Structure 1
């Protein structure tokens, strides 16, 4: 009976606004691309709303809840305003409908958002990235989001740690909410693959002055060290983060200071 109604449009109300409750968001950081200054995340969003067309009289139909296919009724669509790539899919092919018209649903959103991460102190970098949610609204009509709480489903993502996820509303728009994600880089891997080898190469260059290399053997040895350092830089070219408004100081330190030191 409910499916035959073909309720595929937004629930109508005298106020021309449908309130969509978001009681819970499960957040997970998938990856952080320091080359292109963007990060990818997955959000499992719980949704709940009222649809009068999907209510029924329990004295006639003695069921308090029913399960309906999500493709047969109207479900809200969320947007990420600052998303470069965003996909939204249903978390389950079915949803739950109560006799008073309350609908409970879950969707999964994968989004890629640009973020100018402050990389000046790389590999000890940290910053706040923002995901902006909005829905369809025009001239006082549309959808209004009412958010609840947000929870991290995983704190680790490669070299990055998700410290805190918080919902905020600013910018003067009622139909937009901002999910602030505090990211911090774990310096262990960059230190072992970048900083420590650099220190060891410098140490080998300094110690080479005390080695008993006579009869012109010192110059070939120093040339070997310089070539080793150049090869090291070529290997690390894909590891060093890209440049943005705040480039990492370690890039200039490797490209200029160390190379000049070796030449001298």
Structure 2
């Protein structure tokens, strides 16, 4: 009987234990099912995983799934480009993962400032502003994090604008990850970049954006933005007015030298061209290694216009006097006064001849001398005007010849590649040197030990 009582007690105990385990398992299942997305997100935030999820190799690999590029503006005066780049990134953080026993949720949203997110570095940036595309990041069950940032960056470009406004050049935007020695951030770039927004930024047009490999390091890539200029605006506002002013200067030689109308026109042309020169200096850069040819063009045109104006003034002076020296003015005034006195005396002589018949022969002789003097003076004036006209024609053909030679030289220079800008170092030299040394590491195997020799 005692034995049967003990067996009964043991069976009751087992039954109670099994019931307790069943109730406990149900409570765990209920608690697991009751943990919704917000509960799971709070549990992830509570871990405070702010540090980078680097493994044994101390390198975090971040895959850039896509990049969207847009050129905001281009400052031709300072040769700076402002861009907007949207970077979609993805990486794996094992500390953020969970299993089905915790929750059946496949993905949750976590505030961007509650977990670690990679920071991008732009080596050649002058000014940079980086902000998250959204305030939350998407975290998957396996610990994969999907994040996007928007980067507003201004970089300095070394584009050859020697043949402005007919220019095509590349500008680089170096987007990389931070690294130090063997630790850091390694970016996996996509195959292509998507262009978003308008391709036109002022007079500059964004033709294409490509991801290129840096020649000094295989671990560094950059965005190569190909830009070109729409030449219509520059041709209409700068080149065409300068050509028309030079043409008007040549046509002004058709005006007579006498009078001064030509001089007034040439002074107006010089002042007008000076205004266009000020516009050019305010718009176009002149401090680069390859100064634009348009600066030399405007300099030549201004010198040619001033020389033409001075030549016209000299020829106008020669029409009234046979000398261009200002010291001859007093002598000219004395000569004119003497001529006026001689004319008055001759007029008195002519008047007396009507009353004094005795001196008729002398009066006729003086009258003949007077008219002979007038004929000689008129002949001298005609000879002087003919000489000035010949000089005027010579000056016209001289300036026309100079302009033709100048046009030939300009066309030849623009055809030849005589100016090349210096290459800009995009990435930090110290980082490049360190990366090259890291590649030069030779592993030497010993018994159970691996030694890295730095060369």
In the alignment, structure 2 segments of 5+ residues that lack a partner are 1-42, 309-455
| 1:39-90 per-position Cα deviation (integer Å, ceiling 9, x unaligned) | 1111000010001111111332121011111011110000111111112111
The CA deviation string for residues 225-258 of structure 1, in whole angstroms up to 9 with x for no partner, is: 1112112222332122333111111111102x10
Note the C-alpha offset of 1:165.
Answer: 1.0
For 2:181 and 2:202, the matched residues in 1 are separated by 44
TM-score normalised according to structure 1 size: 0.94
Choose from 116, 130, 139 the match for 2:158.
116
Q: 1:227 to 1:172 in 2, by over 3 A?
A: closer
Tell me if 1:141 matches 2:191. Answer: no
Tell me if structure 2 keeps the 8 A contact 1:11–1:51.
Answer: yes
After TM superposition, give the deviation of residue 139 of structure 1 in Å. 2.0
Who is 1:68 aligned against?
Answer: 110
> Do residues 260 (structure 1) and 327 (structure 2) align?
no
**Candidates 129, 134, 140, aligned match of 1:87:** 129
Aligned to 2:85: 43
Range with bigger deviation, 234-243 or 47-56: 234-243
Q: Is the 8 A contact 2:238 2:276 kept in 1?
A: no
> Could you tell me which of 44, 49, 52 is aligned with 1:10?
52
Is the CA contact 2:134–2:148 (under 8 Å) kept in the aligned structure 1? yes
Q: What does 1:1-264 correspond to in 2, within 5 Å? A: 1-148=43-190, 149-153=192-196, 154-173=198-217, 175-211=219-255, 214-255=258-299, 257-263=300-306, 264=308
More displaced 10-residue stretch of structure 1: 7-16 or 98-107: 7-16
The whole-number CA distance in structure 1 between the counterparts of 2:110 and 2:160 is 47
Work out the CA distance in 1 between the residues paired with 2:263 and 2:54: 83
Partner of 2:276: helix, strand, or coil?
A: helix
Answer yes or no: is the 8 Å Cα contact 1:135–1:175 preserved in 2. no
What is the alpha-carbon distance in structure 1 between the residues aligned to residue 291 and residue 256 of structure 2?
41
Q: Residues of 2 paired with 1:34 and 1:118: CA distance?
A: 11
Deviations 1:143-171 (A, max 9, x none): 11001131111422111111111112224
Question: Which secondary structure does the structure 2 equivalent of 1:123 belong to?
Answer: coil
Q: Name the structure with the higher helix share.
A: 2
Moved more, 1-10 or 32-41: 32-41
Contact kept, 8 Å, 1:35 with 1:243, in 2: the verdict is no
Alpha-carbon distance between aligned partners in 2 of 1:157 and 1:180, rounded to the nearest angstrom: 17
**Partner-residue secondary structure (3-state), 1:238:** helix
CA distance 1:240–1:174, shift in 2 (3 Å): closer
What is the total number of aligned residue pairs between the two structures? 263
Structure ranking higher in strand proportion: 1
Query: What secondary structure is seen at the aligned counterpart in 2 of 1:61?
Result: coil
Q: Is the 8 A contact 1:47 1:106 kept in 2?
A: yes
Checking the alignment, whether the CA contact within 8 Å between 1:135 and 1:176 is kept in structure 2 is no
RMSD after superposition: 1.6
TM-score by length of 2: 0.56
- Secondary structure of 2:128's aligned partner: strand
2:210 touches 2:223 (CA, 8 Å); kept in 1? yes
- 1:106-139 deviation digits (Å, cap 9, x = unpaired): 1011111111110010001111111122212122
Unaligned 5+ runs, structure 1: none
Measured in 2, the distance between the counterparts of 1:33 and 1:191 equals 18
- CA distance, structure 1, for counterparts of residue 276 and residue 222 of structure 2: 41
The farther-off stretch of 7-16 and 165-174 is 165-174
Shift of 1:172: 4.5
Specify the SS of the correspondent of 1:225.
Answer: helix
Answer 1 or 2: higher relative contact order, Cα 8 Å, separation at least 6: 1
> Residues 255 and 261 of structure 2 are in contact (CA less than 8 Å); yes or no, is this contact kept in structure 1?
no
